[in-house]
Amino acid sequence: MEFKFSNKCKNLKPSAIRELFKTIPAEGAITFSAGNPSPLSFPVEEFAEISADIFKTSATAALQYSVTEGYPRLIEQIQARLKEKFFVGKDFDRTIITTGAQQAIDLTAKALCNEGDVVICENPSFIGALNAFRAYNLKIVGVDMEDDGISVEKLEKALKENENVKLIYLIPTFQNPSGITMTLKKRKQVLELAQKYDVCILEDDPYVELRFTGVPEPEIKSLDTDGRVIYCGSFSKILSAGMRVGYLCAHEDIIAKATVLKQVSDTHTNIMSQMLASRFMEDYDLDAHIKKIKDLYRSRCSLMLYCINQCFPDCVKHTIPEGGMFIWVTLPEGYDSAAFAKKAMEHKIAVVSGATFLPNEGEVSRSFRLNFSTPSDEDIVEGIQRLGDLLREELGIKGRGR
Amino acid sequence: MEFKFSNKCKNLKPSAIRELFKTIPAEGAITFSAGNPSPLSFPVEEFAEISADIFKTSATAALQYSVTEGYPRLIEQIQARLKEKFFVGKDFDRTIITTGAQQAIDLTAKALCNEGDVVICENPSFIGALNAFRAYNLKIVGVDMEDDGISVEKLEKALKENENVKLIYLIPTFQNPSGITMTLKKRKQVLELAQKYDVCILEDDPYVELRFTGVPEPEIKSLDTDGRVIYCGSFSKILSAGMRVGYLCAHEDIIAKATVLKQVSDTHTNIMSQMLASRFMEDYDLDAHIKKIKDLYRSRCSLMLYCINQCFPDCVKHTIPEGGMFIWVTLPEGYDSAAFAKKAMEHKIAVVSGATFLPNEGEVSRSFRLNFSTPSDEDIVEGIQRLGDLLREELGIKGRGR
């Protein structure tokens, strides 16, 4: 039969999404295209121990239906950690566990937005969020990034020019894909604009625990006074991505709606994983575990930046992240990173073209994303050298070879 | 701030849903209100063994991001089982893993329906599905049940009278809440009507493996010739509900849309759980495991039916299920089961009023649902006796006491 799909499906291009997640780099390719944490960040032995104990002592709780809000002890632990470490969580806020931060984004959009409503986001931004918004038939308006975060002038212009703006979606810390961190000054300005134009901010903060250098900027949520900042985070980058445990911390009115929407979406998040996360925080030292991940990423990021400085032509720009998992490389005016990424893949280096992260699909990007959390030191050295050679070739620059 | 929620949220009453799932029966109450499988159905020792082995041999695969479609080996196993046991799955069909069958229902509605579109369902029906439809602002039209399944005449009337019907949602086997199984004759008639009026059928089949007596009726999906039957199932009732692993088997065009929608909803289903289910099917005897569950439920259902026949007044009717987890009890004309359920709770027996399962919220129901998968034999005997006494008291019937 001829299926009639919903309007919501119309704006979703399977190919664009799937390309990113399913890119199977050529045999023997060096992969800088991943969005994955390092497998070295998974506490395998600890999880094996906890898991064995749960099956011994609390198997029924781990395998039976549970409440939609999430495992109560884990919610307490998250709230305590958010409050102590990041000053996130006011008296009017509540927290629920979600099936990854992806679901937190999805539920927020579903709770707040009607078809045709506008979501403003950074340009470029996280493809998973952009597609979640597209899947509710929302209009996405991208606002250009600067070195210190989103352009505040352009943000105000977008707020002025668009009716029915419901949400400003931001990844203020170690942004995906750019690696940029928004300054405190801008965070305050953005919050003021949200107040002035009476819209909510969705602060997506999956990388905040991965700061390996520099001084932390306060979360926008910590500056929230009236509940307009909706905050989501995840255990994907600090314990396990495959276990799909994230959380949404927001005003209780929003959490009440999100909880009902979550219930009809997947009843509750896998309970064993919630217990694993909770018990890990209870029985082991999460901060010590995160320190190991940060040490690893600091070292890999430094190595990648060193190689970039050695091997890339000066006219190729790049960000210098203070945490997270990504470096953002920008070619000179007139170049298309999609063509370059394709060329790189022919030379067995996988990078993700910036076009993937554009709010306006079909536009050309001069930038591409490099991931430093998964490749080995050897691959970083070899891969960045090869990319440098290829850049010089493509840009027609001679000299300063390896 | 004053939040402006989406139209989708308007039709969702948190209280109604939460009541069902969160009912905490009074201290010492006998609980016939659950929708849970028996904890005896969880293969705890087997899961502990498999889990230990996965952490030893495939920890990275179990903890890293995975593909949206699901763990490939598990998809193969489900497809093979559906084909061999139920003749479900044509050449044009594909299967994806979902975060419980609840997500399969949610994704189907999102893929096929615009706001205001009509979904026809059985009256009464599964509250989780009804609320998933409400959360997309769909119009739900209930069609009355008869002893052998949905009323075919009333179904055709509903198809004639309503424009934009996108979906007929059915639980043909051991329906929740009624326990009724649709006859083959009606399954064929329903499929013909779907073809005549060119709508899709969503066949929700979570209880199919739990037939403990009688002869199986073919799944509607097995009669499908043109891909209009969308089929969902779950491991919740045969391995673990808390692990949230279900599946959607449908025409490849629908699966393509559902996969993109799943990706933006939660990226993928918890991968460890998928591996547990897959390894259980690989290393252990799933059918032998299911046989144990069926033996238990057959025994509990028989006992409950025996006690009902002993203790309930003749004017109180009930279904005689051949599988699943529920018996549906109907009071004489003029009685309201919500009032009776409240009274029962005062007497420390928890049952779920039929009003919870009505497509038209606010209507009165004469029926209530009894669950036999979770209470012990002692609780069944004691609880049904007490319910019988209370029924006689409420209905003003004397004699035939315990």
Residue A263 to residue B36, Cβ atoms within 8 A: no
Per-residue confidence at A107, pLDDT binned at 50, 70, 90?
very high
> Nearest chain A Cα to B195, which residue?
A1
Contacts of B48 in chain A (CB under 8 A): 51-52, 55-56, 59
- A211-238 per-position pLDDT tens digit: 999 999 999 999 999 999 999 999 999 9
Residue B272 to residue A273, Cβ atoms within 8 A: yes
The domain defined by A15-42+288-395 folds into: Aspartate Aminotransferase, domain 1 (3.90.1150)
* Domain at B46-283, CATH from 3.40.30.10, 3.40.640.10, 3.50.50.60, 3.90.930.12: 3.40.640.10
Contacts of B6 in chain A (CB under 8 A): 110-114
Q: Which residue's structure tokens are 């990007």? A: A365
- The distance of A128 to chain B (nearest Cα, Å) reads 6
Query: What are the tokens at A337?
Result: 């990173």
- A262-318 per-position pLDDT tens digit: 999 999 999 999 999 999 999 999 999 999 999 999 999 999 999 999 999 999 999
- The distance of A372 to chain B (nearest Cα, Å) reads 16
**A contact test, residue of B264, B280, B356, B361 with most A CBs within 10 A:** B264
Per-residue confidence at B402, pLDDT binned at 50, 70, 90?
very low
How would you class B296 by CB atoms within 10 Å of its CB: exposed for 0-12, middle for 13-18, buried for 19 or more?
Answer: middle
**What per-residue confidence (pLDDT) applies to A402?**
42
**What per-residue confidence (pLDDT) applies to A24?**
56
Cβ partners under 8 Å of residue A304, min gap 6: A327, A370, A372, A380, A384
Sort strands A246-251 and B149-150 into parallel, antiparallel or unpaired: unpaired
**Homologous superfamily assigned to B11-42+288-395:** Aspartate Aminotransferase, domain 1 (3.90.1150.10)
> Got the DSSP string for B155-203?
HHHHHHH-SSEEEEEE--SS-TTT-----HHHHHHHHHHHHHTT-EEEE
A397 or A88: which leads in pLDDT: A88
Counting one residue from A and one from B, how many pairs have CB atoms under 8 Å apart? 274
**B contact test, residue of A244, A273, A279 with most B CBs within 10 A:** A244
Query: What are the tokens at B340?
Result: 């009776």
**B contact test, residue of A2, A18, A65, A102 with most B CBs within 10 A:** A65
- The distance of B58 to chain A (nearest Cα, Å) reads 10
Residue A35 to residue B65, Cβ atoms within 8 A: yes
- The distance of B294 to chain A (nearest Cα, Å) reads 18
Residue B257 to residue A110, Cβ atoms within 8 A: no
pLDDT mean across residues, chain A = 94
B274, B71 contact by CB (below 8 A): yes
- The distance of A298 to chain B (nearest Cα, Å) reads 21
The domain defined by A62-283 folds into: Aspartate Aminotransferase; domain 2 (3.40.640)
- B37-67 per-position pLDDT tens digit: 999 999 999 999 999 999 999 999 999 999 9
**In chain B, how long is the greatest CA-to-CA distance?**
67
> Got the DSSP string for B53-93?
HHHHH-HHHHHS---TT--HHHHHHHHHHHHHHH----TTE
Return d(Cα A95, Cα B81) in angstroms, integer: 40
Residue A42 to residue B65, Cβ atoms within 8 A: no
**What per-residue confidence (pLDDT) applies to B360?**
86
**What per-residue confidence (pLDDT) applies to A26?**
64
- A79-97 per-position pLDDT tens digit: 999 999 999 999 999 999 9
Give A137-146 contacts, CB < 8 A, sequence gap 24+. Answer: A137/A7, A137/A8, A137/A10, A137/A11, A138/A109, A138/A113, A138/A166, A140/A359, A140/A360, A141/A165, A141/A359, A142/A358, A142/A359, A142/A360, A145/A175, A145/A178, A145/A180
How do the domains of chain B map onto residue ranges?
A: 11-42+288-395, 46-283
Task: Supply the ipTM of this predicted assembly.
Answer: 0.95
**What is the phi-psi region of residue B68: left when phi exceeds 0, alpha when psi lies from -120 to 50, beta otherwise?**
alpha
